[in-house]
Structure 1
Amino acid sequence: MTEALTRYSRSSSLALGALLAGLMLLGVGFAAYFIVFASEETFVEEADTAILAEMRTARSVAERGHAPLQAWFNDALTNNPLGFLYALKGADSLTISGNIATWPADNVVVVKEGLIRFEYASAPSHEHRVAVARIMTLPDGRFLLVGRDVTSLNTAQWFAQTFGWVMIALFVSFAVACLIVGWYVANRMNRIADTANRIINTGNLSERVPVDSSWDDLSKLSAVLNRLLGELETTMLGVKSVSDSIAHDLRTPLTRLRGDLDRLPDSDARDQLLGEVDNILNIFTSLLRITSIETERRKSAFADVQVEELLGDVVEMYEPLAEDKALTLELACVPSCIYGDRDLLFQLFSNLLDNAIKFTGDGGVTIDATVDHNFVRVSVCDTGQGISPAEREKVLRRFYRVDKSRSQSGNGLGLAMVAAIVDLHRARLELAEGKDGSGLCCHLTFERVS
């Protein structure tokens, strides 16, 4: 579960989807702010500010007497560009004058201290509308109402809030859609990558990328990749067929030739010819072995391998060869276990040790195996002539030889086979300079089996 979450979290498609979703949620925040801004309190606050200013004017006029107030009131009703509501009610609570038909009594809601909201009938049409107002008591006992019609403001508020909620719904929908699309793309890409990894690990070219539909580009890409895999499978089967033909058509005559040579009387010429035929047979065997490892990638023989036992067997086999060249052969190994094909691993270390002994004149060869957390590190170091940094990658190719004069025995396939076995075991191979600045160290890193 954790590994799957890690894979998805590292997906650029899902990251892009999350980024877009984040931007959409930012839009949700702006829309929510817009809704708050378009709330009733915002609109009412603006109207109340204007009402308070008009009330202050009325109070100052009322302090000068009844006549100035009445003149101001009549003028306010006549010249009213801002649409204020005015009403005067006598102390007897019966008579009323102004631009509203009735004094607010029913359906009055206190918005805040001193401010009320009510429905009224406009004069002279008697249309029912909504207003907010403040009421003050005049020095002569009458009541003055100053208000603002907020019917249109309420309509604007409704449209604004509706627009805000619609935008929130759209932004949330877009955010979810972005995440779904990002997950879909990441999931499809992971399935393609999983198929590719299975092919790399098993060599089974009959694997195919799942194709869910044909409407999207990833499905089209999967179909193209499947066609490519089909062509590769056909090609590799052809290569295998050619390899089998080589094994049958060339090795068999060579083996027959060797048998004929072996029946000849002993002579230096016969021994030389036998050596050449054996060398050719070894080349064919190595080539077929490398091809088999690289193309078939069989892991049926994989099992837990004790590193100290494996290296001990390899050293035991090469000790006589090292003694013949007066070389020291040292093994230092920490008990550890790796997962692999024991025969192939034996071939790997045999090739490395054979090369080390072959190209070391004086000194010796050391094999060191250590454990570093979840990995086993095996180093094969010699005191020979070494390999220049420019050639360390080239020596892993088939038939490449550092000895251009080809005065040393060999066919240039030993390290190529090592590279193929390392790749099959998903290990890591590093060629480096020896500890004292001379010779060559081959460092191999395997996953440790606990």
Structure 2
Amino acid sequence: MLGMSKSIFRRLLFSFLATVLLGLGVSGIMISMSAREYFYDAKKEELLRMAKNVNAAILERPRVDKKLLDILEEKDKTYDTRIWLFNQEGKIVATSMKDEVFTGKSVAVSIADNVLHGKNAVTELQIEGLDDPMLSVSVPWGEGEKIYGGIILHAPLEGIERTFAQMRETILWATLFGVLLSTAMVSYLSWSISRPLRTIERTAAEIGRGNYAERVQVHTSDEINDLAQTINTMAEKLEKVEQERHHLEQVRNDFLANVSHELRTPLTAVQGFLEALQDGLVEEEEARQKYYAVMYSETMQINRLVDDLMDLMKLENNEVTLAKFPVDVKELLGKIAFSFHPEAEEKGIRMEVDVPDELPKIYADRDRVAQIIKNLVKNALKFTEEGEIRLSATAEEQYVRIRVTDTGVGISADDLNRIWERFFKVDRGRSKKNKGTGLGLAIVKELVELHDGKCSVESVPGEGSTFTVWLPTVAFYRPMT
């Protein structure tokens, strides 16, 4: 992570520095060029204006005399600019400085020709003995056809160069400040980016080690926060997947253990009785018939277990197709109660049916609904020693609510949440007395949901339980999507 942080710092630093240096450099060059040209043109125009003023002052004096020299000296002081006069031969004949050493020297032929033909000339001269270059302008001395020579004004470019030097220094300091500011900004940005990224890396490493409860704690409002939230969402999903995997693994282990247990008990009994019969230990016919009856009962228990397993597997794999038609609930509950009446009477339990006459029909598979109710009634008979079992039904919005209520031992609060699981038995301490596969309620739940219905259970230990099933009526049936 530190390598990535350094890489981010370097990229940001180089990007900012390149931007600052390039921006300030280009801007400085353009400003310098524009400013130099502006000052140069301004100085040139000023010198041309001064030269024309000098020409106007000496226009009527074609010859060099004391009065003319006084005028040149006065203009020199006024304009703070050196003034030369040259004749038609191009020789300097007068200057504004009395001790001027250039008197008698010739000016450049090109300058003299332009001026004598009535044109202005502007040049930049490097005069011996002076460190700074001089800006020189030349205008005709005279007017119209009367050109006596030329007037030269020159001033040092020291002011312009000094201004340029100050500008370059300012740009240099601005560049240095920009570099320092860029470094500070890059350091802060790198820290603000790398810090949450390090947090994300540590959390991702924990998630990679299987700690799916770990979450990224990043308090920003940018793309990094979006990344953190995405990782948190992924971790939540992985945590749920892992929990589901553990649950499925536990269910699988419980399933194998329960199937093994449910098969071993009757098979052990059948094996023991068969060995006794084969060894001739049972000689009396009446005893042999009892053995046969027990073996038949155990075989039927195995057969019921296999049937229930096959039903549950088909339901969970969506291999069960319902043949739905309007079903009269009152008639169906009456027939089921009648079929269980002998078993209930044998235990001294009353079977009651409470269904109103105007109950709407449900839209369902009659045989599967009968299987649902029978499983609930069997469950009620198993855990009820005295009292009654009541089958009731009422209309409730778009459903018919079917209830199977008993006065049995009830179900503890800890077991209520697991009552619909496969092989779960609330009578674990009395399993030898009340035989069952532990699949009946799991099948009920699957069948009810297959009918787009719902189910629930309420129970008070020692007082009894009420299983409720809601199935859609014909008028309001809407398949769930």
Identify the structure with bigger relative contact order (alpha carbons < 8 Å, sequence gap 6+): 1
Smaller-chain TM-score bracket: 0.3 to 0.5
Scaled by the length of structure 2, what TM-score is found? Answer: 0.38
Scaled by the length of structure 1, what TM-score is found? Answer: 0.40
